[in-house]
Amino acid sequence: MKNTSKLLILFVLGQLLTSCFTSNKNKNDTLFIEEDFVPVEINNQYELSVPKYMKEAHDLNDDASLQYKNIYKETYIVVIDEPKEEMISTFKELEEYNDSLSVIKNYKNIQLHILNEVIDINMTSDPKSLQISGLDAEFVEFDGKIEGLAFDISYFLTFIEGKENVYMIMAWTLKNRKEKYRKAFEMATKSFRLIDN
């Protein structure tokens, strides 16, 4: 009888632990924009919801209007915005602008060329056209290595054409954490919206 009681207790404890791990796993796999993200408004121009576990930063990119990171999770997100007409005229002068492509495809190509100068890119997805809050956008992801860093980094880039500006949302993490944070980065990017003045 004692052995049966011990086995029963062990079985019940095992079931409790298994259900705890399962419910935590499901909770971690499911994200909700209202519960797990916080909206950040930049210069009364645009809003982006970032994961609550990320904190504002000031050391990721000097040109970024939004910078958030979590150094423990190794997750980072920045937004760079620039005047659309200025970007077009600058790259037309440099003969780097292709009139047969849309503004946002040109912006994507230009930024990828610049990034390719500093990152040793070893895998790039096919670019994908999409709409974010009714705006034309392009998405691409790639894995690469930066000189001096031992680990490969995975980057998620989304380029958005606004009324007056073009935007690049760049999120990144360690390559071995790419799938873990993919959904959070995707949800943050899709939350982008211009603020109507």
Band (pLDDT 50/70/90 cuts) for residue 149 is: confident
- Cβ within 8 Å of residue 31, ≥6 positions away: 37, 51, 183, 184, 187
Predicted pLDDT at 191: 97
Domain coordinates in residue numbering, the chain:
1-30, 32-194
pTM of the model: 0.83
- Residue 118's alpha-carbon distances to 112, 114, 155, 156, in angstroms, are 10, 7, 13, 16
Residue with tokens 């190509």: 109
Cα–Cα distance, 118 to 121 (Å, whole number):
9
- What is the spatial distance between Cα 119 and Cα 143, in angstroms, rounded to a whole number? 9
Question: Angle, nearest 10°, between helix axes 103-118 and 84-93?
Answer: 70
Query: In which band, very low, low, confident or very high, does the pLDDT at 8 lie, cut at 50, 70 and 90?
Result: very low
Q: Does domain 32-194 have CATH number 3.40.1000.10?
A: yes
Per-residue pLDDT, 57: 97
Q: Which residue has better confidence, 98 or 33?
A: 98
Q: By percentage, how much of the chain surpasses pLDDT 70? A: 85
How far apart are the C-alpha atoms of 121 and 126, rounded to whole Å?
14
For the segment 179-191, the average pLDDT, to the nearest whole number, is 97
- Locate 138 and state its tokens: 């392009």
How far from 85 is each of 45, 92, 102, 108, CA to CA, in Å? 17, 10, 13, 15
- Is 117 exposed, middle or buried (CB count within 10 Å of its CB: 0-12, 13-18, 19+)? exposed
Q: In the structure, what pLDDT confidence band is assigned to residue 197 with cuts at 50, 70 and 90?
A: low
Residue of 6 and 162 predicted with greater confidence: 162
pLDDT of 26-50, one tens digit each? 444 688 888 999 999 999 999 999 9
SS (H, E, C) 144-167: EECCCCCCCEEEEEEEEECCCEEE
Q: What is the DSSP letter of 192?
A: -
